[in-house]
Structure 1
Amino acid sequence: MKKYIITALLSASVISCGVLNTPLSTANQPSLNETQWQLAENVKGKVPTLKVQSGKITGTGGCNNYFGELSTEATTGAFSASKIGSTKMACDSMASESSFFNMLSSVNKYRVVGNTLELYQNGLLLLKFNRIQ
């Protein structure tokens, strides 16, 4: 019985991922230059942030400060964060921070909806931020 429940849950997860992976319109997005964002999710500790300035990103990952390079294309919604580095303090939320950095590195599209920034990988929403400036 337990085996069937686990199989059903896994099947539901696979189906839901397929539903999320629908075509995404990211054409003609506003420029992200000179903007600041805060992760929309409730997290323990400091809330991760994203600040965009002239091809560079900075912020906090929830524990450590980070920095990196950013390439965006407003007409297509392309987004590519690279060369992400951070300070090396140890905190309780290291696993969450590591996941945040991995997701940020995986993003290839962005979409701005009002005061919300959505970051996607191939149509799958990875991170959602609220504008703070």
Structure 2
Amino acid sequence: MKKVFVSLCMAGALVALSSCRSSKDAATLSSISGEWNIIEINGTAVVPAPNQEFPFIGFDTSTGKVFGNSGCNRMMGSFDVNAKPGTIDLGAMASTRMACPDMTLEQNVLSALGQVKKYKKLGKENMALCGSSNRPIIVLQKKAPTVKLSDLSGKWMISEAGGQAIPEGMEKQPFIEFNLAEKRVHGNAGCNLINGGFVADNENSSAISFPQLVSTMMACPDMEVEGRVMKALNEVKSFGKLAGGGIGLYDASNTLVMVLVKK
């Protein structure tokens, strides 16, 4: 069995190698748009740990933003949308700094992305990220939509807003609660109560916004957290599941602006 597995992997690697050199698999900028699971690094299949999702990377080809998760931490960066089609430089990726029990996969992902210079189609659904020598470094598989509006039901604590963690032990811990039947939300921004409706999109399961939020007008000694929470909510345009659990709320450029964890 082992010999068969090795031969299959070698065959896959050879297919990927030829694709990086083949003009018939040339890719346009629009072909990398969206979110992709990272399923192979340097010829080795990525095998997530139990209860762990695949690391993924997303490309917003309208803004040049890159985002994703490398196996533990969120990653973000940018790329030149005006570069020659098929070329891309991901050497300046940044990431959050959370520590996880095993950082091996994350280190492999970030190291591989730092070597990427080109991209090519790989079959009908996959994409190969290649180095300057045309060697395939990473194989991507289109990430199927995995979120639906019902995923938001119930009460969520706001653990992060505007890229910063919400301090623990606040007298009024920020939260938001979704009433899907009435398309309304209720919560606390850290000082004041918030109420209002939300707008979803039947054609885009991950789209959501909060155009009609109102809050009470009580003054608290420290309004900094509340300011970040309200600003983030006003910027939200979409949501998605986060690796390791929780829900991420994103702005129009797919930048994560809020993290929700189940109450």
TM range (shorter): 0.7 to 0.9
Contact 1:22–1:123, Cα closer than 8 Å, also in 2: no
Residue 29 of structure 2: SS of its match in structure 1?
coil
Distance apart, 1:28 and its partner CA: 4.2
Asked whether 1:129 is paired with 2:140, we answer yes
Structure 1 window deviating more from structure 2 (21-30 vs 84-93): it is 21-30
Contact 1:28–1:75 (CA under 8 A) maintained in structure 2? no
Change in Cα spacing, 1:22 to 1:61, as seen in structure 2 (3 Å) is closer
AA aligned to 1:120 is C
| Cα deviation, residue 30, structure 1 | 2.5
Distance 1:23 1:125 in 2: 6
Matched, 1:25 2:25: no
Q: Runs of 5+ in structure 2 lacking a partner?
A: 1-16, 40-45, 145-263
Correspondence for 1:48 among 50, 55, 60: 55
- Provide closer, same or farther for how the CA distance between residues 73 and 115 of structure 1 changes in structure 2, counting only shifts above 3 A: farther
Structure 1 residue 108: deviation in Å? 0.7
Aligned residue-pair number: 116
Unaligned runs of 5+ in 1: 1-19
Equivalence for 1:17: none
SS for the counterpart of 2:97 is coil
Q: Which has the larger displacement, 67-76 or 112-121?
A: 67-76
**C-alpha RMSD over aligned residues:** 2.9
Structure 1 residues 116 and 71: alpha-carbon distance in aligned structure 2, compared to 1, 3 A threshold: same
Q: One-letter code of the match for 2:37? A: Q
Preserved CA contact (<8 Å) 1:50 1:60: yes
Q: Say whether residues 1:116 and 2:112 are aligned partners.
A: no
Q: Deviations over 1:59-97 (max 9, x none)?
A: 000110010112356854111114211111111231220
Q: Which runs of 4+ in 1 moved over 6 A?
A: none
67-76 vs 31-40, which moves further: 67-76
Aligned-residue identity in percent = 22
Max radius of gyration: which structure? 2
2:59 is paired with a residue whose SS is: strand
TM-score, normalised relative to structure 1: 0.72
Choose which of 61, 71, 76 in structure 1 pairs with 2:80. Answer: 71
